[in-house]
Amino acid sequence: MTSLLSSCLPRKRPFPSLTRVPRLENVLNATFRDPAFRYGVKFGIAGVSAVFLALLIKLEEPVWALFTVFVLMIAQYVGAIGEKSVFRVIGTVIGGVIGYLLTGSLQQEPWIFLPLIGLVVGACTAMFGQARYPYAFLLCGLTTVVVAANGMANPATSWQYMVWRIEEVVLGVMVTMVVQSVIWPRFARIEFLANMRRGFGDLRECFSAAVTANSHEAAEAASSMASQFPERITDLRRLLDFGSRESQHFRDRLSTFFDLTNCQSRIASAIATLREPLDPRSPYRRDFANEMQALFSAISSALEDLENLESIPETRLARRTAIEESQKRLESALLAMRHRYNLDSIPVEDAMQFSIRVLAFQEIQKSICRAQELLNSLPRDPLQTSKEHAPYLSPWPPAFWIRTGIKSGIATMISLIVLNWLNPPGATMLALGTWVFTATNATSPGGQGDRRTFHFLVLSMLTLAGLSLLLLAGRPLLSSYAVMNTVLFTWLFTWGYLCFKARGMTIPMQFSMLCIVGILGLNGQDPISFQQIVDFFFGIALALVLSSVVQRVMWPSLPQWEIRDRLIELTRISRQIIEQGPDSLPLWQRTRIALIPGEVTQRLQYITPPVYPAGESDRLRDLLSRLFKIGYHLVVTCRRLDPILATQGNQGELEALRNLEGQIDSALGSVVVAFRSNRPPVFDTAALEASIERFKSKIAALRLRMLAAAAPPIQTLELMGFAERYCLAAQDAAFTHRCLNSLDIPLLNGDCSL
């Protein structure tokens, strides 16, 4: 009965918090572990702290301290913050002095003053696009603009703006460094080691996918994955630069870590050549299955071991020994094959495919051995003594940044003329905003560049109008510290959160940055007048108008033009490799081969109907893929076959090789001519194909002579492997012309969309 009654009574529901609290805790834990959330919190704390301290010690322009926080916090690593902070102070001091000297002594001579200001700002903006001390140049130009714009009305007191600017920047630098170093700090050296481990693990998976592929599509997919690996190498080297500024221990081993990135790059290069699986009917696949499987397993185990950077040297030695033994068994099997088969009857294509595979295994094995030696050296002194490395970016600004510098200088000059001539409202924001939008819009993430500058201008005007109405309605609240700090922290948190996701400063973020800086400049501790809000609106609005006109009139950065220019750049690098060899290219130029595909891909999203024909972006993607593969093959192949041919004393083969290189160079040259002349390429593809066949026949005959002379198997394999890579590069060169003939080149060269 009791049980019956109890079953009829309504059951008590568990207390909600007992079931919901754990879920809430999980959500909160996940939120606080989210790096974007942490970054937003740090951004808000840094900005509010900088403004608070500027007001506390009664500095004249707290907005400049906040602006410093915006620029510095983009660097998310402690080491990068330290570098940017030093360069920012140096650039600010130099720019302040230049701005004061030019304004104080030459303001009454506009024909001298304005060109000099434009020259300084343009040169600094252009030099921001190179590898050495970019932030020093950026801040030099920025401070020159600020001091000149604010000091034009009274040149004799322009030194005050120089001093105020330096004081505010130093305060912003100190606050940012403390926040980044104390609150959830990110250390580049730690992330470098973690990414290095993941790199070896990803290479192992990529290697396994390429070797075990049973179809062309699967092998091509694995090869493409390896081809994209150089971008990760570039990221690792950036972490190395930042990490070297965080720890002396890490800096002492910089050469060792740098060489480890080279090992990963060489392993990825070798994997990328495995674009075709062996034919199941090939005797190489049938007779060497066990030996190749053993070598594959040994290499996979060694890569797995490298993934654990702290593995003991004895384990690494065992892995290396296993690879060497597998290679010896393969060489023995190759020697035995000569007695079982008439090698003349094996198709040349089968020999080339097998050779390129063995050659890739050999290159991977050498890189693994080098990586193991480097890891074994880490507890002691590095193997190398050199601490300096070639930069992975150009030491001089490329053409894109030179054009941007010229545009920025001219836009700044126009803004100063407008300030002096018309004295419009919002003078303090006009020159600064004009320079910011002109110098940084085209480089914002997404690749759109100046394509929709006027569309964004209209949207910005509407946003500014709405924001100004809110400011008019909320003028009484702006005098409250609590309201000001709440709005400031919320704005900065949102900005930082989105900036972390975007991995850069987008155009809306630049606009948002200037808005919050302008709002803070209203100084809510005094009664805010209607005129101040009007100044805020017109200052940013006029800056947008001036920069938009300059951007669209002078060398606009449009997606189709940037795609064209980068494809031409990639083609020219490949031609330089053919003419002078890969060793003639500096590191930054070889790195460009890996970076250009990513830069082109992010712009392909704008090559869409109705402006462009359907499928145009896919055809451009095919062209990019072929040009990238040509450069990739040439980097690892050019000049590598010459010593083998010279050793054999075969002048005919060398002539065939030079002829093939010449045909590839001509094919690449016609790509440049096609884009520049605005018409389809003119090239004899049949001559290129004939050169390929002639080269193959010469190499096949040389292979037979080497077999008859009992040449070492590895030497024969190297001959066939490098020859196959040359043929693949030539075939890709022929395919580029089919891609170009399918494109609407005049449309790509046109200014299709405002």
Segment 404-433, tens digit of pLDDT: 999 999 999 999 898 877 778 777 778 888
CA pair distance 123, 140, nearest whole angstrom: 10
CATH architecture group of domain 188-245+254-377:
Up-down Bundle (1.20)
Fold agreement between 188-245+254-377 and 559-748: yes
For the chain, the domains span 28-186+394-553, 188-245+254-377, 559-748
At 581, list the tokens.
């060899």
At 48, list the tokens.
């509010």
pLDDT at 660: 93
Residue 723 identity (one-letter amino acid): A
Segment 555-614, tens digit of pLDDT: 888 888 989 999 999 999 999 999 988 888 877 777 788 778 878 888 888 888 888 888
Q: Are 265 and 199 in contact (CB under 8 A)?
A: no
Segment 268-312, tens digit of pLDDT: 888 887 877 877 777 777 777 888 888 888 888 888 888 876 667
672 contacts: CB under 8 Å, gap ≥ 6: 568, 571, 572
Q: Are 411 and 117 in contact (CB under 8 A)?
A: no
**Cis upstream peptide for 610 (omega within 30°):** yes
Q: Give the single-character DSSP code of 679.
A: S
Q: Which residue stretches of 308-426 are H helix?
A: 313-340, 348-377, 399-422
At 163, list the tokens.
């001093």
CA distances for 561 relative to 80, 387, 482, 591, 676, angstroms: 32, 39, 49, 21, 11
Q: CB atoms < 10 A from the CB of 716, how many? A: 20
pTM: 0.81
pLDDT over 50 (residue 52): yes
CA pair distance 647, 641, nearest whole angstrom: 10
Identify which of 550, 402, 413 has the alpha carbon closest to the alpha carbon of residue 112: 413
pLDDT at 23: 63
Q: Are 645 and 654 in contact (CB under 8 A)?
A: yes
Helix (H) or strand (E) holding 140: helix 134-151
b/e map of 350-389 (b: 16 or more CB within 10 Å)? bbbbbbbbbbbbbbbbebbbbbbbbbebeeeebeeeeeee
At 255, list the tokens.
């050469």
Class at the top of the CATH hierarchy for domain 559-748: mainly alpha
pLDDT at 187: 85
Segment 437-464, tens digit of pLDDT: 888 776 676 677 788 888 888 888 888 8
Segment 201-223, tens digit of pLDDT: 888 888 888 888 777 777 778 77
Residue recorded with tokens 């460094």: 177
Helix 685-708 and helix 348-377: axis angle, to 10°? 80
Helix (H) or strand (E) holding 536: helix 530-553
